[in-house]
Structure 1
Amino acid sequence: MVDGEFTMGMEFSSREAIIAAMKDYNIRKGVDYRVYESEPLTFYAKCTQYGSGCDWLIRVSMIRRKYCWVIRRYNGSHTCTRATISQDHSKLDSNTIAEAIKPLVESDPSLKVKSVIAEVQSKFNYTISYRKAWLAKQKAIEKIFGGWESSYETLPIWFEAMYHKEPSAVVHFETMPVYQGDDLVTDIRVLQRVFWSYYPCIRAFRHCKPVVQIDGTHLYGKYKGSLLVAVSQDGNNNIVPIAFAIVEGETSDAWHFFLNNLRQHVVTRDGVGLISDRHDSISSAISRSNGAWSPPRAFHMFCIKHIESNFLRKFKAPYLQKLIVNIGYSRTVREYELHYQRLQERGEAYTQWLNCIPREQYALAFDGGYRWGHMTTNLMEYINSVFKGACNLPVTTLVKETFYKLNELFTRKRTEAEDRINAGHIFSEHVTSKLHANQRASGNIQVNCFDRQSQVFEVREMPNGVEYNVDLGRQWCDCGEFQVDRIPCRHVFACCANRRLDWQVYVHEVYKMDQVRRAYRARFRPLGDPATWPAYHGPRFVPNPFLRRVTKGCPKMTRFLNEMNTQMLRAPRRCRQCGGEGHSRSRYR
């Protein structure tokens, strides 16, 4: 288009191409047109002001021998101007916007709607509504990653192919029947929930810390729902996702479905620590697990950040937040009682509220070492940020994202572990640096041996004179670090140096590089060409129609915000005139 204008004889590859070009032309000019003829072989439009000062019209026809569309009639540029200035344009619809933002959505599926509005503003100089921008983003996702409904149909086919390549993987569907009137439709099922875990993840957990963190994140596509994830951590502080599930929401039934499959197929050993937030649905699901997630098989504990948030919501006392966190991080009973006493001095109501939570579920001093020092669900928060973009995608694309991202993670961590072993390192990088720091700090510690056979010591730090008891046989130190981290603290190093003992035997196996390498030994297998996949003979899956987002109005946010998501609670309003609370200067009397 010379100077942005159409010309007679101009050729276009398709009907859609000429319509898109006309829309773009009129949007840039700030004018509009009305369609007078729209046939399979002809398209004819005139300016909305035709006959009232503007003669713009265009006719395009399909030329069969050229296999293209050609402009057969054109009256030249618009001579009119819009009577009113509008922030939007009738031809700037969601389909046009979807084509314009496709590159942005493809690079970042979690693109915010307000970023779409800003992109349209900079590109077309129009400010569109939130709803139109949201619809455009959904259509762009559908054009790039496939349709939402067809994605439910391809999901069992993809899982069938994955399971064919790796029979040790775990996939479990829960579906609901479909009725047409009163008749049951046998070959169609409504997908309610799906749990899956890849074999490399199942194998990796055997060599990770016996700690599992769980959480859920919302799905933001055409259909509502939640992605539930369970993660663990290897001896080098790397996050290892071990299981996933797509469910209708964070309900008690959904968590029971997830935790039941997690316990049955992935977390099969006993003595595991389970860390979560204080969501009632999780506690309800654990109580229904018939002891699978209860002592002594497992120990359910809470994230201290969520307890802090619950405390702030209850008492509106932000100046006590740090004290609540310090109570949870207390490694020894003496330290716990000191912080607890400080809270009690501020008010009996605070400690009474805290006493309603079993202290073994939030305090390091009483957790029996099952936390391994993990006080929060920060591992889950990081994983949620990694898969945030995928939560905007159709379900099959979301599942594929977990497959390929985990393959990339395992390949990279396997190479890093092998390189470190080849370099002669015995322990992981994270633990090595901590061991060196503890070893350097052990120089100014006096050691008295009380029982050489059972290896019981009393040590005194100089020059402060603080004394600690160390029991190497029970792997215990009064400072709390030894039993929490499972690596020698500075007092253990001093005792080993005094009796010429090998301190390396007191480092837990999980921190050795051989264990870290074993965590990533299993490999993901490529699925190959879909034409080579086995034939799928199961029912066709369809989405739950009740989970579809509303088609009118601005999409409603379903996330419940609390003090962890919003700004710090403000102090009471004070009058600038008299300094009193409860009113402002304008309301002063």
Structure 2
Amino acid sequence: MFTPILIQLYWGGGVTYENERILADNNTRSTTLIIQQKISYEEFLNLICFHLQVDNDLYRLTLKLYYTFNSNSQSSEIFNDSSLEVLYYLASNVHNFYANVHVTIDPRISLGQSSCMDLLRGFSSVNESPLGTMVPYQQFTESHVFEAGPSTNTNLHCLSNNEDDSNSDSEAEPPTSEESEVVPSSVETTDVDADEPEIDARFNSTNVSQTSNSGFDYANDPEELKAYAINESDDDDDMEIWDQNYPARVGLGMFFRNKNDVMLGVRSWNINCGRELYVVESKSAKWRAKCYSQNPNCNTNFATGPPCSWYVYAVKRRNDHMWQIIRWVDSHNCYGTIVGNDNRSLKSRDVATHILHNMREDLAYPVKQIRAFIKDQLNVDISYSKAWRARKEAIERIYGSWESNFEELPRYIAALQESNPEAWEYLRNIKESKWTLLKDKNYRRWGNMTTNISESFNNALGGIRLMPIKAIINCTFEKSVEHFLKNTEIAWNCQTRLPPRTWRWFEKRDLKSREHRIIEFDFRRGRYKVVSKIQTNSTGGNDYTVEYLDKKCTCGKWQMQRFPCSHAIAVCHNRGDPPETIVHELYTTGAYKAQYEGQFFPLTHQDYWNDPGWKIKADASKITTSRGRRRSRRIHNEMDVHHPDQPRTFRCGICKQLGHRRNACQSSHP
């Protein structure tokens, strides 16, 4: 049976191998891949090229394997099937083996002088390969990311400087109807949607003229937009890529990795300005938006004065498939449309992006804290429903959807059982009669719907509800580990005979016992009468009988809790016995340490989980929440039953008085 091999790839810089560790410089990048079955050298090389995004026909890869054998650090080059057998031999004979492979990438053809912009776009604008295609240079496509600054005009490099003069001087075909925006030839203009909304003639882009590759021709643009178009320039180092850490930094000429980043960046900019936007056009290769005051459905009270000139136009480029803002007005000239500080531009998915880090730290992050966090960070008041949807989406981004959770649950449970067999066996040995009402045959809990053990779970796992099943199990496991670590540290640092919490409990009762009066009846049998102190409000002065040797008291606390009450402690002082000797051994520090001697082990990587051979079929009708107000799922018991002869008491929501509701309140109807 072939064992999967974990391989760590290093490239882009120099590495050394010492003491079973790879030491790399700052320029070195790394990634991980897994070989699930035995493959040839050519297949292995193609797999590495796929992970590094390198064309094998244009670049030569040199592979060097670093490993430790018989406590000696060694290296071996991999260049054919025979040399690859070294990797398979080590994987089958070395326990917990993982390979470290350094990859050296050399071009098969010489690259001419290229600009930084050309390298970032993934092609060279000067030299062409013998096959007639541009020479890719994928090494820079992911590592060179420039920080986005404030909104400024960004210059673009001409896409082709070596075109014939006839091509570079060719004029664009004039539009056949109203004035239109000119889309660059490097921009994808294939639209999926057939219908287009009616747009103001000043911003109409339905008639796209084909320009030459020498640059962007804006001769046919409206006069008021020419100042906001991208200027031609030979400076290639001004490429500005949107940074998700600073989402509100958006400007003309900025590049985005996908359309979602464009929409998130523009919405964040408007939220920062206290404005709302209206999407005019959203298609596969272009996206346009204007101020919400220009929306035909906008309240006319906000449309007073001159129309707002704010406008944005982003397109998808063909050469690098990135999105770019080619039209941008950097300010609003309207009063805004926001009422009540609830910005409609802030979507629940945007809130989920902002709280994603907090949800990773605390899965039970409450909704009220989400609303307070967004108010503090963005100065926007969001509704409870929007915060709830954002919390749900953030959880699904971390743990997956409900359907995927049910698909992965069998493998996850098997991995959890395999990594923690002792904990699994402990849970299976707990009798169902101790924690389920269904198995309680003798009704020892007198109809109570909960038990002590279930209440303990609820106390430790508070806030984990309405989540995907995998998230609930994973959070339960992590909280259990955290609970054990905390109490183990307390137990081993305890210097008293009783744990800290139990000791505080005992000291409180011991202090109260000194106010009681003791009357001895039988010293040999340990029978005493204890009279409590009379309080200033004429309470107290109660009589209790203590059977000291039988560990009983008429108050019932000693028998039920197995912990001495204040009356028993008073008798203990009267007899001259050490008070801690009458405490049950379950409350001692030794028992506390033994209780938290269990251990947990982390789960292995998901690729190593075994298939248990069974699956769970999810029923979407039971996990999909219906529209409207969310209903409580608490199980009702006898205290929730309303008897017909018992009158109902209503409290008005306006005047706060009993006896009527707000719809019948006289204060609301003068």
**TM-fit CA distance, 1:150:** 1.2
Q: Match for residue 445 of structure 2?
A: 300
**TM-fit CA distance, 1:4:** 4.1
Which consecutive unaligned segments of at least 5 residues does structure 2 have?
1-147, 155-229, 231-252, 296-305, 535-540, 641-647
Matched, 1:97 2:173: no
Kept after mapping to 1: 8 A contact 2:510/2:570: no
Kept after mapping to 1: 8 A contact 2:358/2:365: yes
Look up the SS of the partner of 1:61 in the other structure: strand
Matched, 1:62 2:133: no
Look up the SS of the partner of 2:415 in the other structure: helix
1:433-582 equivalences in 2 (<5 Å) = 438=510, 441=514, 445-449=518-522, 452=524, 455-459=525-529, 469-489=545-565, 492=568, 506-550=582-626, 552-558=627-633
Instruction: Return the alpha-carbon distance in structure 2 between the equivalents of residues 122 and 442 of structure 1.
Output: 53
Look up the SS of the partner of 1:535 in the other structure: coil
Match of residue 286, structure 2, among 43, 50, 67: 43
Kept after mapping to 2: 8 A contact 1:109/1:393: no
**TM-fit CA distance, 1:531:** 2.9
Match of residue 277, structure 2, among 9, 26, 32: 32
Look up the SS of the partner of 1:410 in the other structure: helix
- Cα 1:530–1:382 shift into 2, 3 Å: same
Instruction: Return the alpha-carbon distance in structure 2 between the equivalents of residues 102 and 402 of structure 1.
Output: 19
Instruction: Return the alpha-carbon distance in structure 1 between the equivalents of residues 371 and 572 of structure 2.
Output: 65
Q: Match for residue 472 of structure 2?
A: 398
Amino acid in structure 2 at the alignment position of 1:47:
K
Deviations 1:473-530 (A, max 9, x none): 5332334443233344566567667777787664322122222222112212222333
- Cα 1:504–1:442 shift into 2, 3 Å: farther
Kept after mapping to 2: 8 A contact 1:12/1:18: yes
Kept after mapping to 1: 8 A contact 2:510/2:569: yes
- Cα 1:510–1:442 shift into 2, 3 Å: farther
Instruction: Return the alpha-carbon distance in structure 2 between the equivalents of residues 44 and 268 of structure 1.
Output: 59
Q: Match for residue 265 of structure 1?
A: 429
Q: Match for residue 15 of structure 1?
A: 259
- Cα 1:80–1:469 shift into 2, 3 Å: closer
**TM-fit CA distance, 1:405:** 1.2
Kept after mapping to 2: 8 A contact 1:456/1:469: no
Matched, 1:150 2:404: yes
Look up the SS of the partner of 1:528 in the other structure: coil
Range with greater deviation from structure 2 (6-15 or 511-520): 6-15
Give the fraction of aligned pairs with identical amino acids, expressed as a percent.
23
Q: Match for residue 160 of structure 1?
A: 414
Match of residue 426, structure 1, among 491, 497, 505: 497
Amino acid in structure 2 at the alignment position of 1:413:
N
Kept after mapping to 2: 8 A contact 1:486/1:506: no
**TM-fit CA distance, 1:549:** 0.2
Amino acid in structure 1 at the alignment position of 2:404:
S
**TM-fit CA distance, 1:17:** 1.9
Look up the SS of the partner of 2:599 in the other structure: coil
Higher helix proportion: 1
Instruction: Return the alpha-carbon distance in structure 2 between the equivalents of residues 84 and 31 of structure 1.
Output: 7
Instruction: Return the alpha-carbon distance in structure 2 between the equivalents of residues 138 and 95 of structure 1.
Output: 10
- Cα 1:395–1:6 shift into 2, 3 Å: farther
Look up the SS of the partner of 2:465 in the other structure: helix
**TM-fit CA distance, 1:266:** 0.4
Kept after mapping to 2: 8 A contact 1:487/1:507: yes
Match of residue 392, structure 2, among 135, 138, 143: 138
- Cα 1:514–1:81 shift into 2, 3 Å: same
Deviations 1:237-291 (A, max 9, x none): xxxxxxxxxxxxxxxxxxxxxxxxxxx830489xx7x7xxxxxxx8xx54xx3xx
Scaled by the length of structure 2, the TM-score of the pair is 0.47
Amino acid in structure 1 at the alignment position of 2:389:
L
- Cα 1:84–1:392 shift into 2, 3 Å: same
Kept after mapping to 1: 8 A contact 2:491/2:589: yes
- Cα 1:549–1:472 shift into 2, 3 Å: same
Amino acid in structure 2 at the alignment position of 1:531:
D
**TM-fit CA distance, 1:406:** 1.1
- Cα 1:545–1:26 shift into 2, 3 Å: same
- Cα 1:24–1:486 shift into 2, 3 Å: closer
Instruction: Return the alpha-carbon distance in structure 1 between the equivalents of residues 564 and 382 of structure 2.
Output: 61
Instruction: Return the alpha-carbon distance in structure 1 between the equivalents of residues 552 and 349 of structure 2.
Output: 66
Amino acid in structure 2 at the alignment position of 1:526:
P
- Cα 1:13–1:541 shift into 2, 3 Å: same
**TM-fit CA distance, 1:410:** 1.7
Instruction: Return the alpha-carbon distance in structure 1 between the equivalents of residues 665 and 265 of structure 2.
Output: 57
Which consecutive unaligned segments of at least 5 residues does structure 1 have?
171-197, 203-263, 275-281, 307-375
Instruction: Return the alpha-carbon distance in structure 1 between the equivalents of residues 343 and 471 of structure 2.
Output: 33
Higher strand proportion: 1
**TM-fit CA distance, 1:396:** 0.8
